[in-house]
Every structure is written in structure tokens, then in C-alpha cells.
Amino acid sequence: MRAKLIFDLGDHEDRREHLRCINATTLCSILWEMDSWLREKVKYSNEPEEKIEAFEQARNQLHELLNESSINLDNLYA
């Protein structure tokens, strides 16, 4: 099975969509790294408890936003 995406790079909206597509892998990698960094901070940090709670809240919010959009980083990156 194949898929082909075609963009009219002379059109502003299509050019933006093209950039989103060609940067999708990098964005996924950044999200994966951010999630891993937050996990490390929650699990192994020597920071004060309120900071750890803030890291945990940020990670939970990230997961909630991804889940709302049916995005599973494990399926895309790992």
C-alpha cells in the first residue's frame, strides 16, 4: 500500500501543511524526549516535592493532550 501527499507550495496554507508534514518526525522526537525528561524528573529527582509535583502535572497534561488527539508516542517513536 502506498500514499502520496501533494502540496501546492505556491499556496500559503499548503506550504504550511507541507512544513508540518516534513517536520512531524522531529516534533514526535521532541515530544518523546520531553516526556522522558519529565518522567526522569518525577522518578529520580532530588528537587523539592512541589517541583516534582509540577513535573508530574506537566507530564500528565502532555499525556492527556496526546490521548485527546489519539496520539500514542509509543506507536510513533519506540
Whether 63 is covered by a domain: the verdict is: yes
Tell me how crowded residue 58 is: count the other CB atoms within 10 A of its CB.
Answer: 16
* pLDDT tens-digit series, residues 36-76: 999 999 999 999 999 999 999 999 999 999 999 999 988 88
Q: How many domains does the chain have?
A: 1
Q: Which domain holds residue 57?
A: 25-76
- The reply to whether 45 falls in a domain is yes
Domain assignment of residue 72, yes or no: yes
- Residue 18 placed within a domain: no
pTM above 0.95, yes or no: no
Assess if residue 52 is contained within a domain: yes
Domain assignment present for 10: no
47 falls within a domain: yes
Provide the residue type at 52 as one letter: I
Long-range contacts of 30-35 (CB under 8 A, 24+ apart): 31/62, 31/66, 31/73, 31/77, 32/73, 32/77, 32/78, 34/62, 35/59, 35/62, 35/63, 35/73
Instruction: Flag whether 57 is in a domain.
Output: yes
